[in-house]
Chains A and B, each alone.
Chain A
Amino acid sequence: MSAYLVALVAGVAMGALIYAARASEPAQIARMLRLEDLSVLKFMLTTIAVGTVLVYALSLATPVHFAIKPAYLVGVLVGGGIFGVGFALGGYCPGTCVVGAGAGRRDALFAVLGGLVGALVFTLVYRPLVVPLMRPLQLGKVTLASLLHAPGWLVAFALAVVLGAAIVGLPTVRGARRGGSPT
């Protein structure tokens, strides 16, 4: 029961934050991927930097529910590539299209519908096509900390520093483009 309550509160908060950060607007996602406006990327990097330090600090004091996903390198990389093409074309990811639909965007409904058809096709081709891609280079549930044989809190802190440097160092919006488009 309490898991349902946490999920509901987290979902509403996440939806409002995604909307406020304009991450549910496909034009903003396209600007990010064209490297014209990195505010959504900086939003994500800030989320990761704060989240990783917080959760690893918490884990020193109290049990937390880590759930590391297995790193089957071929499937994860190919899946990421397919995802990236769809991300650029539609401007949505699986969560942001639901947020967009809640905000009343018509194209978001089409993205959700496309996602359901994608899930259906994935289900149908799972055994012949997907399983073979999940077998090679299966490294299991590894983390940066387990690979480096270092304590998690230390790696989390170091990652936050690196992400912080990227957040500060990268321009948020590409400077006034009087010189024309980059080609």
Chain B
Amino acid sequence: MDASTESPTPAPAPRPTVAWAPLGALFGVVCAAAIWLWAPIGVSTTYPRLVGALLRPLSAGYVAGHPMLVQIGSVVSPESVLVVGLLLGGLVASRLWPRRADAEPVHRAAEGPTRRALHAFVGGFLIIFGARLAGGCTSGHILSGIIQLSLSGFVFAFGVFGAGIITARLLARRSGARPLEQERS
């Protein structure tokens, strides 16, 4: 139970609370409205679309003969505008509600800027590769997918959280630092 050698610290300094309930409800309205007025929200396809657009000047024949690139179509699409919207939304929101979170350690132990950049890069590689293999990402499969009750959304979510929870645990153990809760911020 509480039998630890650590001094009994008072309740840890609380992080700013997140109003997840109203924010989630609003996001639910956005997702449903998008399906009503346009299409289910999805993000990850924009990455290979952009790659296709960048490859075309190098080898138009390769792009024209690639079944996946042909199937996903041009980068000039509403989904690309959605991704630009994400950038603008993050920009505006961070100006309205500034928050200093860059310095926070991700995996308990400090990563340092170089290691953080490397982890983010490799992580970015894996999420897009995995999402394209699965046919969607957090927005397309987990949110829009499960909202539409699609089986693939549930299966994808199971894979993401299964692998994600195990990986996060391994990373925290490897870095073996003090529990984050004890930090004061």
B99-148 with Cβ < 8 A to chain A:
99, 101-102, 104-107, 113, 116-148
Per-position 1/0 for B79-105, Cβ under 8 A of A = 101111111111111100101011011
Asked if B163 CB lies within 8 Å of chain A CBs, one says yes
Asked if B162 CB lies within 8 Å of chain A CBs, one says yes
B117/A122 in contact, CB under 8 A: no
B130 / chain A contacts, CB cutoff of 8 Å:
78-86
Q: With A75-B134, A90-B127, A178-B8 given, is the CB distance from A69 to B145 under 8 Å?
A: yes
B134/A25 in contact, CB under 8 A: no
Asked if B60 CB lies within 8 Å of chain A CBs, one says no
Q: With A24-B90, A84-B164 given, is the CB distance from A98 to B36 under 8 Å?
A: no
A118/B36 in contact, CB under 8 A: no
Per-position 1/0 for A8-50, Cβ under 8 A of B = 1111111111111110111111110111110110111111111
A44/B24 in contact, CB under 8 A: yes
Size category of the B interface is: 35 or more
Choose among B11, B135, B179 the residue that contacts A70 (Cβ–Cβ < 8 A): B135
A130/B172 in contact, CB under 8 A: no
A177 / chain B contacts, CB cutoff of 8 Å:
12, 179, 181-182
Choose among A36, A47, A79 the residue that contacts B132 (Cβ–Cβ < 8 A): A79
B39/A79 in contact, CB under 8 A: no
Choose among B24, B51, B78 the residue that contacts A3 (Cβ–Cβ < 8 A): B78
A8 / chain B contacts, CB cutoff of 8 Å:
81-82, 84-85
Q: Least Cβ distance of A9 to chain B in Å?
A: 7
Cα A79 to Cα B138 in complex, Å, equals 12
A85 / chain B contacts, CB cutoff of 8 Å:
126, 130, 163-164, 167
Per-position 1/0 for A130-162, Cβ under 8 A of B = 100110000101111101000010011001000
B153/A115 in contact, CB under 8 A: no
B167/A103 in contact, CB under 8 A: no
Q: Least Cβ distance of A172 to chain B in Å?
A: 8
Cα A86 to Cα B30 in complex, Å, equals 27
A101/B87 in contact, CB under 8 A: yes
Nearest chain B residue, comparing its CB with the CB of A181: B179
A88/B90 in contact, CB under 8 A: no
Nearest 3 A-B pairs (CB), nearest first?
A90-B123, A11-B85, A15-B89
Interface residues of A (CB under 8 A from B): 2-4, 6-22, 24-31, 33-37, 39-40, 42-52, 54-56, 58, 62, 64-73, 75-108, 110-123, 126-127, 130, 133-134, 139, 141-145, 147, 152, 155-156, 159, 172, 174, 176-181, 183
Supply 29 A–B pairs (Cβ within 8 Å), ascending by A. Answer: A7-B34, A7-B79, A7-B82, A15-B88, A19-B97, A33-B169, A39-B17, A47-B24, A48-B28, A51-B147, A54-B32, A55-B148, A58-B32, A75-B134, A80-B141, A80-B162, A81-B162, A82-B130, A86-B123, A87-B164, A88-B168, A89-B167, A94-B127, A99-B89, A102-B86, A103-B91, A103-B93, A123-B68, A177-B12
